[in-house]
Structure formats: C-alpha cells, structure tokens
Amino acid sequence: MKKTLLALSMALLSSTAYAACSPDYSGVELTVSTQNGPFIASALQTAADSWEKKTCGKVKLVEFPFGELYPKFLTAMSQQTGDFDVIGFIPAWVPDFAPYLSTMPESMQSGPAWEDIHPVYRERLMSWDGEIKSATMDGDMHMLNYRADLFEFPGNREAFKAKYGYDLAPPKTWDQYYDIAEFFKASDAVEYGTAEAYARGGQQFWYFFSHAASYTNNPNTPGAMFFDPDTMDAQINNPGWLKALEEYKRGLDFNPPGALNFGSGDVRPLYAGGTVAMNIDWADSGILGATEGKIAGNVRTAVLPGSKEIWNSKTGDWDVFDQPVASPFLAFGGWQLAVPSDSGNPEAAWSFVAEVTSPEVSGSAIVTSNTGVNPYRLSHYEDIKNWASVFTADEAMSYLGAQRASLDSPNVALDLRLPGFFSYTEILEIELSKALSGQVEPQEALDTIAAEWNKLTDEFGRDKQRAAYRSAMGLPAAD
C-alpha cells in the first residue's frame, strides 16, 4: 500500500512539474550573448530568470566587450559553429548578419504583443529584405534634454526675450538651440549652455548625424541623406552636411572644457548634475537626471531641433519650408535580438526572445535602473503610471511625449545600415575628428570622407550596396 501511495505521489508530482513547464524546454540550455553589463545584459538576465521558471529550460548568458561583439558573432555564424542561440546586437549590423539569421516565427508576427511594437521599429528596423530577422528589445533615438527650472524661471525668460526677441522655450531650430546655449553660458544661472559627445569612439558620429538629419533628410528626396539611392554616390560632402558640421563644431563654444574628449557617457552626468542647461543624448540622460542627479523634478525632454531649409541633392539647392521640419534621428536604433540559423534550439531561442520583449517583462525593464532598455512599445509610452517610480508626472509626460513624437514624425530619419558599416564609420570618425580639432577645414574633411566612401562602395560592390541601402531606407528595389 505504501509503495502504491508513493508511486501515485511521485506520478502526481511529475505531472505537476510537467504542467508547470509551459512550453516545456526541460533539458535545453540556451547560450545568449551580448555586451558586458549592466546595460542590456542585466535585462537579459532578469528575463532569463522568468523564462527558466516558466519553461524549465536554462539560459547561459555570455558577455563580451562591445568592440568584440561584431567579429565574434559574424565569425561564429559564418563558420556555422552553433556557439550562440540568441545574440543581442545593434541594427547597423543587420546587413552583414542577415544571411546567417533565422526568420522570426510567423506565430510571433501577429497578435497584441506584435501590434504593440511601434511601427518604426516593427516595420523598419526589425525587417531586412522583406523578412523579420530580429526583435527590438530597446528603443533608441537622440533627443534634447533641458532643465525646466532654468527655462521656466521668470528672470531668465525676461532676459532671454530682451536679448533675442522671442520666448525662451525648447528650440524648434538649431539656430534657436545655439541662442539658448549662448544665453545660458553667459548667465549666472548655470555654468555651461549644453553638452554633446565629440570624442572619436564615444558615439561621436551619431551626434553629428543628429545635426545633419535636419539639413539633409529631405522629405522631397527620401532616402538620400547618406547616399544617392539611385547611384550610391556619397552625399556627405554636400552643403547640408557642411552646414551641420560647422554648427556641430560651433557647439564646442558652449560645452564645458575638454568637450573634444566627451563620449555619450560624459554628457549624461553633466546634465544630471546641473552643470549644463541642455544636452543631446539618448533617453538615458532623462532617467539619470530624475533618479540620481541634482535636477530631479526638472527633467524635461523635447524632439531634436529641425530646420526650415533642407538641402535637395537632386536639384542642388535648398528647399525652403514655411515651418521648421523636424527630422528626429534614430541614432543607434536600439538593441535587437536574433536567433542565428545554426542554433541547435531555434524554437526555444525564439521563445526566450518573446519573453524578453513581452509587454510585461519589457515594461519592467524600462523603469529599472541600469538595464539600458528604453521604450519601444506603444504601451511603454501610454502607461504614465508605470513611470511613477522614476519621474514626476510632468517629467514622464515630457519624456515619453518627446519619444513618441519623434517616432511619429513624418520625417523621422533612420540610421545608416549598410554592409561594411564599421569601415564607413571609421573613415568618418578619423576625418571628423580632424575637422573638430581644427587640423583641416570642414569641407576638406567631408570631401575626403565622400571620396573614401565611394571607394568603399566600389570595393563592396556598388549594385550590392545600393540594394542594401535602399532596403535600409525603406525604398523599393531599383530597376
């Protein structure tokens, strides 16, 4: 009798354990890899903990320095080593990685969780050559961060209007941005006007791109910001890019000393610590300012400045618009997850990706310090209460509103995605650094970049690069 009861008890326990594993991936261990934590890696670890409890599978998280990710992933996938089941990487690498990535299961490409992803991420950054090759786990774009206490102080408002003839408010154009930076640097209210990254290797070129988008991402010539989408001739030395570089360099006058050595990680504490009135950065500055800085309660965010004049590369002239056209730039674009085609556990791997990116898990990650995860779902922008642990109501509405408005902008500017991305940006940063430090004139630097980019395009294959670029820009295949 005792043996019968014991057997029955064991059977019930086994049945209960089996039922708890849904779906059941007992005995499966996934190798998931991304950059060294805490940013992104910590979010993956938290999701791994919840996925393991649900599925009875195991996750081994492998972290590498950011600079090692691209070669390690590409080498492993191209040689079909099966080393990785899930990789966390950046959208710029999709053109090189796509041939080695599996396609997202159709079951994940429908339903409430799918529709909840903002269309810019879902339809533009997760897709390559008509197939969904990755899943967004983090939304990224550049925004303007500013201090409400400085912008709303009556004395500052009166003095600003007296000097510049218009109201102090978040700038709609770059001219206004530099007026405001100049005003605050000269005032006693704060030490410096603004902070941006200028260091080679410190996300420098993404900051430059954010300026350039306003003068080169012309709605009348879609996709022509970086290259002519018909010929693949580099556009980076045209007058729009020149104006952007001259203004980007001018900003050094309003930054704290040593700005040529600033990376994005340096501009955040300058804003959060109250040293500057504004900065340009990803969403991380807002979180830092609200939770760990000296400006808590006064964090405000706005869409990047735009321009009334945008260079038309087809007509060779400036197009003039009645109102400033915002061209918010999706710098970096946010971390992506994908499943290499040589994974030995593709079904379980995609199940893990679904867990990481689910509304529930991602909704917690975006309000948890040091995850590096920024909003990308519609629900992330709409659930103001979810942000109560981070922001005041005013801060949350400003922070989320600016991001949503950036993504919803009809002239949102997509980041460069092209095979050989590192080769193109390495040339760019070398010459850009020379121009910023005064070693060469801006036009000379841009001419050199354009010439070298054209050489690279020919080396990679102009037709191949044109097809990839048009796909990245959301344009139909060339005839």
Q: How much is the pLDDT for 478?
A: 86
CA 144 to chain centre: 14
For residue 458, CA distances in Å to 452, 455, 473 come to: 10, 5, 20
Q: List pLDDT tens digits, range 429-440.
A: 999 999 999 999
Q: What is the pLDDT of residue 67?
A: 86
Mark the ranges of the chain whose per-residue pLDDT is less than 70: 1-19
Strands 29-35 and 86-89: parallel
380 contact partners, CB below 8 Å, separation of at least 6: 139, 362, 363, 366, 386, 400
Q: Identify the pLDDT of residue 16.
A: 46
| DSSP sequence for 383-411 | -GGGGTTT--HHHHHHHHHHHHHHHH-TT
| Residue 479 confidence (pLDDT) | 78
Torsion angles phi and psi, residue 296, rounded to 5: -50, 135
Pairing of strands 131-132, 127-128: antiparallel
DSSP structure string for 178-193:
HHHHHHHHHSSS-SBS
pLDDT of residue 19: 56
Tell me, what's the pLDDT at 48?
A: 98
Q: What is the pTM of this model?
A: 0.91
pLDDT for 8 equals 44
Q: Domains in the chain and their CATH numbers?
A: 27-133+336-372 (3.40.190.10), 143-325 (3.40.190.10)
Is 102 exposed, middle or buried, given 0-12, 13-18 or 19+ CB atoms closer than 10 A? middle
